[in-house]
Amino acid sequence: MRVEWPTVALTVITYGLWIVAGAALWPAYPVLALLLMTICAAMHSSLVHENLHGHPTRSRLLNEALVGVNLGLIWPYRRYRETHLKHHNDARLTDPFEDPESYYKAAWHYRRMPAWLRGLLHVNNTLLGRMVLGPWLGGVAFLRAEARAIAADGPGVRLAWVLNLLGCLPVIVALVWWGIPVWLYVLVVVWGSLALISIRTFAEHRWHETPDGRTLIVERSPLSLLFLNNNLHVVHHKRPGAPWYRLAALYREHRDEWLALNQGYVYRNYWALFRAHAVHRKEPVEHPALYRQGPQP
């Protein structure tokens, strides 16, 4: 389709429910309102991911505009687009320096960290730790890196942040109008939405000698809609041009081939992942193969 209408409709529904939560539910049911806003902000994050891959239209600017009001407040669309598309270099997946979304650290870098930070990173490599600590650790690291990029006047960085501030403005104005404290929105909705998304991102990639063996499949989950079928993550990596509502069919049609391709890196559902790694590390913090030695002089 020239315009992928299911994605457009889902975008309208997401913003609409967010408005209903703030305008109608907040006065009488504040907890329910914040819960619905959290789900909407998580869905918005999934829609941003969909749009930066060239959906739902063939216009990059229109795709950006469709998700331009940033319910999650923090990540500028254009900065996320730049780093995420770099992440799609499958040959460099999990590389601590080449993959912007890698959770591994170079061994020599990790060993130089203070003990308290190493401890936090160990907890962050459990699923519960990733949900609780991950949004804060990731947010602080991202904002520090962005501050350096802004100071250095990196290409497009300042414009990306100006556009993001403009996209956050309607959210802030609406919160003030409805009487929702901005600090409460950040503490509950922004953190909560990132915690939900971290269920998906927690195990999306692992180190494996073959690039295709580094990307996860979670076969089915009630969270599939919230994640726009990115639980079938290897399908997305191999077919990033396929819209979210086609991924499940693509997987079903060639299930055995996908399982062979990603070397059996598969969970039946997220509950299986939770049982295995809620409080037990799934991965070491140090990269198992790359950068075992310190940098050469």
Q: What is the pLDDT of residues 169-216, one digit of tens each?
A: 999 999 999 999 999 999 999 999 999 999 999 999 999 999 999 999
What per-residue confidence (pLDDT) applies to 61?
A: 96
Per-residue DSSP letter, 215: B
Categorize the per-residue pLDDT at 2 as very low, low, confident or very high, splitting at 50, 70 and 90: confident
Q: What is the pLDDT of residues 31-67, one digit of tens each?
A: 999 999 999 999 999 999 999 999 999 999 999 999 9
State the average pLDDT over residues 5-9: 97
Q: Mean pLDDT score of the chain, rounded to an integer?
A: 95
Task: Please report how many Cα atoms fall inside a 13 Å half-sphere around the Cα of residue 25, on the Cβ side.
Answer: 16
What per-residue confidence (pLDDT) applies to 1?
A: 64
Percent of the chain with pLDDT over 70: 98
State the average pLDDT over residues 245-259: 96
At position 138, the amino acid (one-letter code) is G
Can you state the angle between helices 30-52 and 191-201, rounded to 10 degrees? Answer: 50
Tokens of 253: 């049609």
At position 28, the amino acid (one-letter code) is A
Domain boundaries defined on the chain: 5-277
Categorize the per-residue pLDDT at 291 as very low, low, confident or very high, splitting at 50, 70 and 90: confident
281 or 294, greater pLDDT? 281
pTM, whole model, 2 decimals? 0.94
Among 137-146, 166-175, 281-290, the range with the most confident prediction by mean pLDDT is: 166-175
State the average pLDDT over residues 3-28: 97
CB-CB contact of 222 with 70 (8 Å): no
CB atoms within 10 A of CB 295: 8
Categorize the per-residue pLDDT at 295 as very low, low, confident or very high, splitting at 50, 70 and 90: low
Measuring CA to CA, which residue among 11, 82, 17 is closest to residue 46?
11
Instruction: Indicate whether 104 pLDDT > 60.
Output: yes
User: Could you tell me which residues come within 8 angstroms of residue 292 by beta carbon, excluding any fewer than 6 positions away?
Assistant: 107, 108
What per-residue confidence (pLDDT) applies to 297?
A: 41
Q: What is the pLDDT of residues 18-30, one digit of tens each?
A: 999 999 999 999 9
At position 223, the amino acid (one-letter code) is L
Tokens of 180: 């929702």
Instruction: Indicate whether 89 pLDDT > 50.
Output: yes
State the average pLDDT over residues 262-283: 95
CA distance 275 to 279: 9
